[in-house]
Amino acid sequence: MILFWGLGAALAAAVLFLLLRPLLARGGPDPVSRRDANLALYRDQGKELEADLASGKLAQADYERSRAELEVRVLEDVEERPQASPVRRGGRRAALVIGVASPVLALAIYFAVGSPGAIDPRGDPAAVTNAQIEAMVARLAAKMRENPEDADGWKMLGRSYMVLERYGEAVDAYAKAAMRAPRDAQLLADFAEALGMASGQSLRGEPEKLLLRALEIDPKNLKALALAGTVAFDRGDFKAAAGRWERMLPLVPPDSGDARVIRENVEEARKRAAAPAHSGIRGTVRLSPKLKDKIAPGDTVFVYARAAEGPAMPLAVLRRSARDLPFDYALDDSMAMAPGMALSAHPRVVITARVSRSGAAKPQPGDLQGASKPVANDAQGVVVVIDAIVP
């Protein structure tokens, strides 16, 4: 369990970047060289575990758990994900968005799992395939079916599914963990993030309730504070967002880059709270008759605004069901993806509507899409016709 708790502490410390991936992202050394060095270390640790098992120093059960925990650490160095400040750049996914319909802070929080092939002393540390990762996760899932009362194991499995972007399965794993550890604030924050990603990348509703429960248990939980602030920002309650993010400042070194980013976001939220409300853009989304046979009622429609000239990250996003087509929409500053990325800050924008078969915010081949011409950021009656297939 020492390895597991060490891992948990490290992940909690890295909590602010998901979203997400971002609120507390830092620059660092080249990720490839660091990854290779760490993987070499993990291979040595794997050899030590095997030697301890062979010599009788470790029981088989302890060996299996330690090996699984080591595997979880490995993928942190083989899973390459871009990291960005929520103020300077977009989030990891458009990241919560991460195209995540919540501020990039929510996108900032992603954890990593590992691959058994990476600790094989005969293997190439760079040759980690998706199949190997999937096999490791399947093995962990099988272990949990044999030992369903292991809350730590369910948490580990939930993190694994999050990395694989299998959000529904992550929700199921975290729910099982929460049943067995209902007072674990960090677990509740992780659960909220997974539930938000599985629910169209929105933290409103049940995810927010989980975050508030986490803060009742631990008012200083960084991830819960970050995501609770994200919910408030997404809702347009900028005063509440500033208050929650400000509570994070005593929890990080005052002269750190983390503290600087948090202060910038607090100031942005305060500025939004003091600014007059933006009327936003309103219009209608329609489906071209030629594509009416290519959608299903359960498909998801994302409507989002991007700057006609500026960052590619969406400035505001809303999510609807394809069964609602055609429908009226409204986009305004309350739907901002991140501090500093307000719709009102960009004079001309393009409105895009996309039908997602998978429910994912990231465009996939076969999705249906349409876009407006550049319009003013307070234009009314902007019609978007979904008339093309994403290649």
Q: Who has greater pLDDT, 110 or 377?
A: 377
CA dist 317 and 356 (Å) reads 14
Residue 139 clears pLDDT 60, i.e. is over it: yes
User: Average pLDDT in the 20-33 region?
Assistant: 39
Residues in Cβ contact with 289 at an 8 Å cutoff, skipping those fewer than 6 apart:
none
Closest CA to 362 of 172, 197, 226: 197
Residue 37 clears pLDDT 60, i.e. is over it: no
Could you tell me the pLDDT band of residue 103, with boundaries at 50, 70 and 90?
Answer: very low
Q: Whole-number mean pLDDT of the chain?
A: 76
Highest mean pLDDT among 68-77, 85-94, 235-244, 334-343: 235-244
Q: What percent of the chain has pLDDT over 70?
A: 66
Q: Who has greater pLDDT, 255 or 80?
A: 255
CA dist 158 and 17 (Å) reads 18
pLDDT per residue as tens digits for the range 272-298: 888 776 678 999 999 999 998 999 988
Q: Who has greater pLDDT, 320 or 42?
A: 320
Angle at Cα 18 formed by Cα 311 and Cα 12, nearest 5°?
150
User: Average pLDDT in the 145-154 region?
Assistant: 94
pLDDT per residue as tens digits for the range 361-381: 788 899 999 999 999 999 999
Q: Long-range contact list for 40-47, CB < 8 A, 24+ apart?
A: 40/125, 42/70, 42/73, 42/74, 42/77, 42/118, 42/119, 43/118, 43/119, 43/120, 43/121, 43/125, 45/70, 45/119, 46/70, 46/119, 46/120, 46/121, 47/121
Q: Give the pLDDT confidence score for residue 333 in this predicted structure.
A: 83
Q: Who has greater pLDDT, 47 or 87?
A: 47
User: Average pLDDT in the 148-152 region?
Assistant: 94
Asked whether 217 and 195 are in contact (CB, 8 A), the reply is: no
Look up the pTM and report it. Answer: 0.52
Angle at Cα 80 formed by Cα 77 and Cα 84, nearest 5°?
115
pLDDT per residue as tens digits for the range 218-253: 999 999 999 999 888 877 788 999 999 999 999 999
Q: Give the pLDDT confidence score for residue 61 in this predicted structure.
A: 61
Q: Which tokens hold the place of 16? A: 């602010």
Q: Give the pLDDT confidence score for residue 274 in this predicted structure.
A: 85
Q: Which tokens hold the place of 179? A: 């049943």
Residue 47 clears pLDDT 90, i.e. is over it: no
Could you tell me the pLDDT band of residue 55, with boundaries at 50, 70 and 90?
Answer: low
Residue 36 clears pLDDT 60, i.e. is over it: no
Asked whether 81 and 109 are in contact (CB, 8 A), the reply is: no
Residue 341 clears pLDDT 60, i.e. is over it: yes
Q: Give the pLDDT confidence score for residue 181 in this predicted structure.
A: 95
CA dist 322 and 217 (Å) reads 39
Q: Long-range contact list for 137-140, CB < 8 A, 24+ apart?
A: 137/113, 137/161, 137/164, 140/68
User: Average pLDDT in the 151-163 region?
Assistant: 93
Q: Give the pLDDT confidence score for residue 51 in this predicted structure.
A: 67
Could you tell me the pLDDT band of residue 271, with boundaries at 50, 70 and 90?
Answer: confident
> Helix or strand or coil: residue 126?
coil
